[in-house]
């Protein structure tokens, strides 16, 4: 422990009769000078580790070459205009553009470079006629954003704005005279007594905006706003015992202060949306995979618009009067199209072997469906769907990375602890035809019903280039094989996901893909928790751990950051059986005094309100301050980093270079000097 660090100040809590000691509770206080000194010491340790490697410069050059490229995101077509975010090569951040589809001329609508060194912007909402846009402005990696408005024709920014907060739905008024919004302030919401929906008339004083809907909060409640050209709707999700249920209220735009209840206490999620004065809801009642139904005016169930299919609904996209519904069948994308009257129109063609996703629209009048496609070998490209010709046309296509080489992709499965077969994808370069054990990086996710499909990663691409193998395991906790795949590892059953991941590591070693001395794992957010559990439950299995923006103290995760609403996924310390499961697997509490844990790099920052950086601070301190710890424990800490990947390009290059360098150093992967794609490995 550094000389200026305080002595241990353990805090002991008694939870359900169990004594739980926390020796680094003081590191939860970011405002203390002691925590500040600790962070400064960690930054110095980290710099010393990386600056000792003379090959960092050549690696940084290659990272920039692959990362700093033209990218386009958030495409939406309204009338004759396309709106999108675009980052051109050499720019620090993406700008918001508008392109006239008749003249094909594009111009910048918002350039964040004039708004601050860490400013980034995203499309938030587009008026029905495309004459106004709302955009979100962030500084650093924070989740909260301010909302600003621009007149598209003149390019002028209106004086009106919404303060820093979290948007829960918004819409321009039909005449563009104002803006409806549901907005959580960027403050501790425990001090706010009510959820509110407000209306702001452009050009008028914003304080106070007109409150058009208000309802009292409960501990886990949330209000969201939805709309169509005729009506406004609000979904109020709230507690009913240990469950979350939803109520729905609606008002006409012409009388937006007069709301009437449509239904109460429906099981969450309901996924409700409005179109042409009619109400549609995504329902899981008597349909585990989900279906779309139309509601009658009294809230009762009307006709089925999209019946339940063999796989769960992954996402919905509403374009004109069509509903595009995406699924995952045998780990491949499927896209069905239905009319709002319940007529099946077509199965849209999709690209296989990767991640094919329908992109959300940012305006009620969006006229085109856009989809993205990426794979292990293909960076994200965007396609626009031509419903007359029933085909996708390239809109923005990124070429495969040049100079990397050919890949060999193996898809197989392995048995988990309980015998369940778990799919795994193994990727390596196949230029020299070499087989046998190589340094390997393994990841997975296993939470929140999120399915892991092949995606492009600059980190993985460079490590593959350097001769490593990459493995992706589809552990339980996702929805790769339906809701049951998620439920098998949710709440107090979460150890199932951890067992699946550990079994993947054991299988890779037993089958000669790699060895324990050359196996690394990485993950962020929920996956950061996954690798934290893996390294503490089986430290003998891994050589290196890259743990990004994690949760690690699962006894106090509900008290740190904006994670209280995650109790549906992880469980709550307030319930004895769920507490016992959380405590049993909590990485922070599983550290033993006499174990030399794998080399670990934690990545976190001050602006992460989702996974509080106190998790990484406390975990790193507890690992470092033991005589048995010989492998390095590092913390790459940034004041601007948060849970959103929106930092300037130069900072992203530096951060990614360090992550790759750490894995190379610890797994024994050579970093050539000079340009990497000129290496003999190519």
Q: In the Cβ-directed half-sphere of 348, how many Cα atoms lie within 13 Å?
A: 29
Q: How far apart are CA 669 and CA 679, in angstroms?
A: 14
Local structure of 351: helix, strand or coil: coil
Q: Which member of 366, 525, 638, 644 is catalytic?
A: 525
191 is catalytic: no
Q: Which member of 311, 643, 644, 679 is catalytic?
A: 643
Local structure of 385: helix, strand or coil: strand
- The pairing of beta strand 544-548 with beta strand 519-524: parallel
Q: How far apart are CA 623 and CA 544, in angstroms?
A: 14
Q: For residue 352, report the phi and psi dihedrals to the nearest 5 degrees.
A: -100, 170
Residue 245: other Cβ atoms inside 10 A: 16
Q: How far apart are CA 51 and CA 37, in angstroms?
A: 21
446: left (phi over 0), alpha (psi -120 to 50) or beta: left
Q: How far apart are CA 189 and CA 176, in angstroms?
A: 30
Q: In the Cβ-directed half-sphere of 427, how many Cα atoms lie within 13 Å?
A: 27
Q: For the chain, what's the residue count?
A: 682
DSSP line for 386-415: ETTTTEEEEEE-PPPPTTS--EEEEEEEEE
**Nearest alpha carbon to residue 591 among 548, 620, 631, 630:** 620
Q: How far apart are CA 476 and CA 569, in angstroms?
A: 13
Q: For residue 194, report the phi and psi dihedrals to the nearest 5 degrees.
A: -130, 145
Q: How far apart are CA 193 and CA 219, in angstroms?
A: 11
Beta carbons of 317 and 324 less than 8 angstroms apart: yes
SS3 string, 48-100, reads: HHHHCCCCHHHHHHHHHHHHCCCEEEEEEEECCEEEEEEECCCCCCCEEEEEE
Q: How far apart are CA 413 and CA 612, in angstroms?
A: 35
Q: Burial level of 12, CB count in 10 A (0-12/13-18/19+)?
A: exposed
Identify the H or E element spanning 578.
helix 576-585
Tokens representing 434? 């070499």
Question: What are the CA-CA distances from residue 504 to residues 29, 341, 440, 507 (Å)?
Answer: 37, 46, 12, 5
Identify the H or E element spanning 33.
helix 33-51
Contacts for 175 with CB less than 8 Å, ≥ 6 apart = none
State in Å, rounded, how far the first CA of the chain is from the last one: 44
Identify the H or E element spanning 567.
helix 567-570
643 is catalytic: yes
Beta carbons of 543 and 599 less than 8 angstroms apart: yes
- The pairing of beta strand 633-642 with beta strand 599-607: parallel
Tokens representing 526? 């929920």
Q: Which residues form the catalytic set?
A: 525, 643
């Amino acid at each position: 422990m550094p000389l200026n660090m305080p002595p241990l100040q353990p805090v002991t809590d008694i939870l359900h009769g169990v004594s739980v000691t926390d020796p680094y509770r003081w590191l939860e206080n970011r405002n203390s000078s002691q925590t500040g000194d600790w962070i400064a010491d960690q930054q110095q340790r980290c710099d010393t580790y990386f600056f000792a490697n003379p090959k960092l410069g050549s690696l940084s050059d290659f990272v920039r070459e692959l990362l700093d490229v033209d990218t386009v995101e958030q495409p939406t077509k309204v009338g004759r205009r396309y709106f999108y975010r675009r980052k051109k090569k050499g720019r620090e951040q993406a700008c918001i553009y508008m392109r006239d589809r008749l003249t094909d001329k594009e111009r910048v609508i918002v350039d964040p470079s004039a708004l601050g060194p860490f400013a980034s912007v995203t499309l938030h909402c587009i008026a029905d006629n495309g004459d106004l846009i709302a955009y979100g402005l962030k500084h650093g990696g924070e989740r909260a954003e301010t909302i600003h408005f621009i007149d598209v024709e003149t390019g002028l920014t209106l004086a009106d704005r919404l303060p820093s907060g979290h948007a829960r739905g918004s819409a321009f008024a039909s005449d563009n005279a104002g803006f409806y919004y549901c907005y959580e302030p960027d403050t501790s919401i425990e001090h706010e007594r009510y959820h509110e929906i407000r209306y702001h008339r452009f050009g008028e004083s914003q304080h106070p905006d007109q409150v058009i809907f208000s309802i009292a909060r409960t501990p886990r409640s949330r209000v969201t706003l939805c709309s169509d050209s005729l009506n406004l709707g609000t979904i109020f999700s709230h507690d009913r015992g240990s469950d979350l249920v939803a109520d729905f209220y609606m008002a006409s735009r012409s009388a937006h202060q007069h709301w009437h209840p449509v239904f109460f206490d429906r099981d969450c999620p309901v996924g409700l949306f409005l179109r042409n004065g009619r109400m549609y809801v995504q329902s899981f009642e008597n349909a585990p995979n989900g279906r779309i139904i139309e509601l009658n005016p009294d809230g009762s169930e009307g006709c089925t618009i999209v019946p339940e299919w063999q796989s769960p609904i992954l996402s919905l996209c509403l374009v004109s009067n069509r509903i595009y519904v995406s699924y995952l069948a045998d780990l491949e994308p499927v896209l069905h199209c239905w009319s709002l009257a319940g007529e099946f129109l077509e199965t849209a063609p999709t690209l296989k072997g990767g991640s094919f996703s329908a992109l959300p629209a940012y305006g009620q009048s969006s006229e085109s469906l856009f989809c993205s496609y990426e794979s292990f070998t293909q960076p994200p490209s965007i396609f626009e769907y031509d419903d007359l010709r029933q085909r996708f046309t390239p809109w923005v296509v990124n070429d495969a990375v040049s100079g990397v080489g050919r890949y060999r992709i193996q898809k197989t499965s392995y048995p988990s602890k309980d015998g369940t077969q778990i799919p795994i994808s193994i990727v390596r370069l196949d230029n020299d035809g070499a087989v046998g054990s190589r340094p390997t990086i393994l990841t997975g996710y296993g939470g929140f019903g999120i399915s892991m499909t092949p995606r492009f990663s600059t980190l993985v691409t460079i490590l593959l280039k350097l001769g490593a193998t990459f493995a992706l395991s589809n552990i339980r906790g996702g929805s790769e094989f339906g809701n049951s795949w998620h439920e098998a590892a949710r709440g107090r059953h979460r150890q199932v996901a951890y067992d699946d991941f550990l079994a993947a590591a054991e299988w890779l070693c037993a089958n000669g893909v790699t060895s324990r001395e050359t196996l690394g794992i990485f993950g962020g957010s929920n996956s950061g928790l996954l690798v934290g559990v893996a390294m503490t439950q089986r430290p003998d299995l891994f050589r290196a751990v890259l743990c990004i923006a994690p949760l690690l103290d699962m006894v106090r995760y509900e008290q740190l950051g904006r994670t209280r609403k995650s109790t549906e996924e992880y469980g709550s310390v307030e319930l004895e059986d769920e507490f016992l499961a959380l405590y049993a697997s909590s990485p922070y509490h599983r550290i033993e005094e006499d174990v030399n844990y794998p080399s670990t790099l934690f990545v976190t920052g001050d602006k992460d309100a989702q996974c509080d950086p106190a998790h990484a601070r406390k975990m790193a301190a507890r690992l470092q301050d033991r005589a048995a710890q010989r492998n390095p424990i590092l913390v790459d800490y940034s004041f601007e980093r948060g849970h959103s990947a929106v930092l300037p390009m130069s900072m992203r290059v530096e951060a990614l270079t360090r992550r790759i360098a750490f894995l190379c150093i610890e797994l024994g992967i050579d970093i050539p000097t000079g340009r990497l794609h000129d290496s003999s490995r190519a």
